[in-house]
Amino acid sequence: MDKNTSETNGDSVYYEGIDFLKGILIILVIIGHNKTGSLIDGFLVFTIYSFHMPLLVGISGFLLNQQSIENTNFSNLFKKYFYRLLLPWLIAWIVYYIIWGKEISIETMVILFFFPLYHLWFVPAIFIFIIFTWFLKKFKTQNQIILIISITISLSWYFIYLSGHFDLSSYKLLYTYLKRVNRLRPYYLCFYVFGLYLRNVYIDLKYFKYVCALVISIFVIRRIFFYKGTTITLDGYILNFALILFSVLLVRKIKFEKYKIINWIGKNSLPIYLWHMAFLIRTHIERGLGVSLFVASMINYCLMIGVIFLIFLLSKVDFINKYVFGNTSEDTKSDLSLNSHENGFQES
C-alpha cells in the first residue's frame, strides 16, 4: 500500500492528497468564473480552462470504486447516487431555475433539466459517465477496452461537432440536438475513464519526475504554438491525459494534510461547486454600485468567502449536510466522490 493512503471499508483506499487536489480545482473554478477585467485575464482563463474541469472529471473517475458498481443493478446504482449527488444537484437546479427567471414551460424545464446551463452540467455528466462505466462493466468489459471506447467517443465528438471540420448548421434539428448534448461535455468522457483506468493499474512512482517534465513541456508548447483562445483542442487532450497521470502520481507520493482549509474545501467540493454561482453577481455589483469591474470582482470574492463560511456553518446541521450538501457518510474516509470523493466530489 502507498505510504500516503489508508485503508477504509472493504477494498477502498483513501489517498490523503485527493482532498487537497479537489480543493485547488474548486478554487480554480471560482477564479475562472470571476474575471477581473485585467490584462492577465486572457492568459489566466485560458490556463485554468485548459485543465481544471478535465482534471476534476479525471479525478472523479479515479475515485470510482468499480467493484461497488460491477455487482449492482441500475436501481441500486441510482439509489446509491441519489442522496450523495443527484438530490443536492436537483435542489440547486430548482433554486437556479427560479433565480434565472426562465419562462415557466414544460419544454423549457425539460431541456434545462437534462441539458442544464452554466456549471450545473457537471453532476448529470458525471452520473452519465458512471452509467456508461456500469453498463460496460455488466458485460465484464476490461478497463483497457472501456478506455479505448471512451477515447473513440470523445474524439469523434470533437471532430464532428467541436473542431469545425463539419458544417452542421444546415441540419437545424440535428445541430440543435448536438448543441444541447454538448452541454454535458461528452468530449470529457475519456478523461473520466482514464482516471478509472489509473485507479486500477500500478504505476511506479519513479516515473513521477518524467511525467512532471512531460506536463510542463506540453503546456509550454501549447501556450507558444497552439494558443488561439480556445481550450478544447487535440493538444489539450494530450495535456490533460498527462496531467491526470501526474496528479494521480502526486497524490500517491505526497501528503497534504497540513493544508486544512484547502482540504476542507476539497471535502466539501460538491456544495461549494453547486452554490458558488449564487453570488457571482459581478455585473450587478458593477452596475449597481458604479464601480470598476476589478472592484466588483474583489467584492465578489469577499462574498464567495462568505458563501464558503456559510456552507461551513450549515454543514453542522445534519439535515442540510445530508440532503442539500450530499454528505451521506459520517466518516468521509469510508465513503471516499465532489464531497468526500465518487460523485467526483466522493469515493465509494
For 168-201, write each residue's pLDDT tens digit. Answer: 777 888 888 888 899 999 999 999 999 999 998 8
Strands 13-15 and 5-7, sheet pairing: antiparallel
In 3D space, the residue among 301, 310, 345 whose CA is nearest the CA of residue 327 turns out to be 345
**Cα(3)–Cα(6) distance, rounded to whole angstroms?**
8
Instruction: Please give the backbone phi and psi of residue 59, each rounded to the nearest 5 degrees, phi first.
Output: -65, -35
Q: Where are the beta strands (DSSP E) in 284-339?
A: none
The reported pLDDT for the residue numbered 324 is 93
Long-range contacts, 286-295 (Cβ 8 Å, 24+): 292/37, 293/35, 293/36, 293/37, 294/36, 294/37, 294/38
Give me 160's grid cell. 464532428
Question: Is the pLDDT score of 335 beyond 60?
Answer: no
Residue 242 one-letter amino acid: A
For residue range 236-273, list pLDDT tens digits in order.
899 999 999 999 999 888 777 778 899 999 999 999 99
Burial of 336 (0-12, 13-18, 19+ CB in 10 A): buried
Highest mean pLDDT among 83-87, 105-109, 289-293, 301-305: 83-87
Q: How many helices (H) and strands (E) does the chain have?
A: 17, 2
Max distance between CA atoms of the chain, in angstroms, equals 61
Most confident region among 110-124, 126-140, 228-242 by mean pLDDT: 126-140
Instruction: Kindly give the interhelix angle for 122-137 and 41-62, rounded to the nearest 10 degrees.
Output: 30
Return the domain boundaries, the chain: 5-334
Tens digits of per-residue pLDDT, 66-79? 888 888 899 999 99
Query: Is the pLDDT at 53 greater than 50, yes or no?
Result: yes
Per the document, the length of the chain is: 348
Amino acid at 149: I
Residue in 87, 3, 19, 11 with CA at minimum distance from that of residue 262: 19
Neighbouring CB atoms inside 10 A of 3's CB total 10
Q: Which amino acid is at 334?
A: S
Per-residue pLDDT at 5 exceeds 60? no
Q: Which three cell numbers stand for residue 78?
A: 441510482
Q: Using alpha carbons, select from 348, 347, 344, 279 the residue that is nearest to residue 22.
A: 344
